[in-house]
């Protein structure tokens, strides 16, 4: 595809009008302020008229639980522990592998609709989730959820053999679109032995870790009680966990010492502003992380604690809520929020050739319709993208050069069937509770 005479958001999060962008063989092959030579242009195939459009990197969701689309609207207006114990856990206990597959299909459709091409997913029935992602044409870093209470080696847990099979059969599948991550759910749902064993598996490989970290005040307080005053960050650091690539979701309740540790090890922090507010967990210290130059990316979390996969909402919240929380209107800039949703998210997944609109990068792109009234005037359209725009402005989403959403159509997904399957399955589970 050749995007012709279109406004672009470049690799520096600067808006540039009147650009031509050519996509070939899954990558961005041309970016210029003049059309490519006629003999080169013909190799790009379809010419896409850029009038009234803005082309930008697609978004990367750094923390999700895709099958929880089935719980959308089910667990509402409850404090965290009641939300988990009275609603989420009983519902999830009834979910089958097919339920997880269809929940993931619907999640893929929703993400593609809102310009998201890749997500880091922590859940169960991983084989089916991988299949759903490949069929939909998206990318994902998948990990099988681990809950470990018994003091025994990781090898004695059935998930150990399951993870070995997932790495063997799925890591790198779909020409790299699927990556398998290891998972430690959290300090409170793991043991020291299991953490050390997983660390030994991941160290020295191209695998990564995905964890929940310091999400609530209660989590931090109880960790200190269990581990001689150590916070979850200090506890995991003592095990050497951050010596490997880690994406840590939430990171709300952090001390200065915790921030020092995460900064020193280059941990990717997946901020989930909508989920953290909905569950009353608090606000991650994002301005301080950004001041330190830490790796901050964005996540939606699951649909029981966010209700939508529209990552533009989370980007808006990240750019806005910290201004009010800190009484500083410069706390987080729109450019920083955009970087969190794009390049930082791609890097958190180990996708170094993704997340930027530049020659040689993978063609993970989305097009926004900028003809709506909220886009006018636009002295600097960067501010319109973050503060006035929305995922509903997305009219095309492209993953590795393949269109996965365009003008209300999903070429790779039977959306009506996915909606019907998920509605039926949610009704069945609720009837069984």
Give the CATH number for residue 227. 3.20.20.140
Strand blocks (E) in 222-310: 246-250, 268-271, 295-298
Of 51, 14, 11, 115, the residue nearest 381 (C-alpha): 14
User: What count of residues does the chain have?
Assistant: 433
Look at residue 297 and tell me if it is in a domain. Answer: yes
Domain count, the chain: 1
The one-character DSSP state at 125 is -
The one-character DSSP state at 140 is E
**H or E element at residue 102:** helix 97-113
Look at residue 413 and tell me if it is in a domain. Answer: no
The residue ranges of the chain whose pLDDT is under 70 are: none
pLDDT of residue 377: 97
CB neighbourhood size of 5 (10 A)? 17
Tens digit of each residue's pLDDT (9 = 90 or more) over 250-283: 999 999 999 999 999 999 999 999 999 999 999 9
Contact 103, 67 (CB under 8 A): yes
Look at residue 425 and tell me if it is in a domain. Answer: no
Backbone φ, ψ for residue 374 (5° rounding): -70, -10
- What single string gives the DSSP state of each residue in 19-81? EEEEEETTEEEEEESSPPPHHHHGGG-SEEE-TTEEEEEPEEEEEE-GGGGGGTTTS-S--HH
CA gap 257, 260 in Å, rounded: 5
Look at residue 22 and tell me if it is in a domain. Answer: no
Look at residue 43 and tell me if it is in a domain. Answer: no
pLDDT of residue 105: 98
Q: Would you put residue 52 in left (φ > 0), alpha (ψ -120 to 50) or beta? A: left
Look at residue 51 and tell me if it is in a domain. Answer: no
pLDDT of residue 40: 87
At residue 425's C-alpha, the angle toward residues 423 and 91, to 5°, is 110
Residue 297's domain comprises: 59-348
Of 218, 161, 213, the residue nearest 186 (C-alpha): 213
CB neighbourhood size of 399 (10 A)? 26
The one-character DSSP state at 302 is -
3-state secondary structure of 109: helix
Of 247, 244, 148, 161, the residue nearest 194 (C-alpha): 148
pLDDT of residue 39: 87
Look at residue 398 and tell me if it is in a domain. Answer: no
Contact 123, 147 (CB under 8 A): no
Backbone φ, ψ for residue 86 (5° rounding): -95, -25
pLDDT of residue 281: 94
CB neighbourhood size of 288 (10 A)? 16
CA gap 313, 420 in Å, rounded: 26
Look at residue 18 and tell me if it is in a domain. Answer: no
Of 170, 22, 125, 108, the residue nearest 300 (C-alpha): 108
CA distances from 7 to 182, 233, 381, 388 (A): 39, 42, 10, 17
Helix axes 311-326, 334-341, angle to 10 degrees: 140
pLDDT of residue 41: 82
User: Which pTM does this prediction carry?
Assistant: 0.97
Strand blocks (E) in 94-208: 116-123, 139-144, 178-180, 182-184
At residue 167's C-alpha, the angle toward residues 142 and 188, to 5°, is 55
**H or E element at residue 128:** helix 126-136
Of 178, 144, 184, the residue nearest 161 (C-alpha): 144
Cα 41 to its chain centre, rounded Å, is: 34
At residue 353's C-alpha, the angle toward residues 208 and 65, to 5°, is 45
């Amino acid at each position: 595809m050749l995007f012709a005479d279109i406004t672009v958001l470049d690799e520096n999060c600067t808006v540039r009008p009147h650009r031509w962008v050519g996509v070939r063989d899954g990558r961005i092959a041309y970016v210029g302020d003049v059309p490519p030579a006629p003999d080169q242009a013909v190799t790009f195939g379809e010419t896409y008229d850029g009038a009234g459009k803005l082309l930008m990197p697609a978004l990367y969701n750094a923390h999700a639980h895709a099958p929880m689309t089935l719980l959308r609207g089910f667990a509402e207006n409850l404090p965290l522990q009641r939300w988990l114990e009275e609603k989420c856990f009983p519902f999830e206990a009834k979910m089958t592998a097919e339920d997880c597959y269809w929940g993931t299909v619907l999640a893929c459709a929703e993400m593609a609709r809102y310009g998201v091409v890749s997500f880091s997913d922590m859940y169960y029935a991983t084989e089916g989730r991988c299949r759903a992602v490949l069929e939909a044409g998206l990318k994902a870093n998948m990990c099988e959820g681990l809950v470990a209470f018994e003091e025994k080696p990781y090898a004695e847990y059935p998930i150990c053999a399951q993870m070995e099979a997932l790495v063997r059969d799925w890591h790198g599948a779909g020409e790299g679109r699927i990556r398998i991550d290891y998972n430690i759910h959290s300090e409170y749902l793991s043991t020291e032995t299991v953490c050390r064993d997983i660390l030994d598996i991941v160290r020295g490989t191209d695998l990564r870790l995905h964890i929940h970290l310091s999400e609530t005040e209660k989590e931090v307080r109880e960790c200190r009680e269990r581990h001689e005053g150590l916070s979850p960050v200090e506890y995991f650091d003592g095990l050497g966990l951050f010596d490997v690539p880690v994406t840590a979701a939430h990171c709300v309740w952090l001390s200065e010492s915790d921030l020092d540790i995460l900064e020193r090890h280059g941990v990717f922090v997946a901020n989930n502003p909508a989920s953290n507010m909905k569950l009353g967990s608090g606000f991650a210290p994002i301005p301080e992380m950004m001041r330190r130059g830490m790796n901050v990316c964005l996540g939606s979390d699951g649909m029981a604690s966010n209700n939508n996969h529209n990552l533009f909402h989370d980007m808006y919240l990240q750019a806005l809520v910290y201004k009010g929380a800190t009484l500083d209107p410069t706390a987080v800039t729109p450019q920083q929020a955009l970087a969190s949703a794009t390049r930082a998210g791609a890097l958190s997944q180990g996708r170094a050739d993704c997340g930027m609109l530049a020659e040689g990068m993978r063609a993970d792109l989305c097009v926004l319709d900028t003809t709506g009234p909220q886009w006018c005037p636009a002295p600097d359209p960067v501010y319109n993208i973050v503060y006035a725009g929305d995922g509903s402005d997305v009219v095309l989403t492209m993953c590795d050069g393949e269109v996965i959403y365009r003008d209300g159509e999903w070429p790779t997904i039977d959306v009506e069937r996915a909606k019907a399957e998920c509605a039926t399955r949610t009704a069945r589970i609720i009837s069984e509770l």
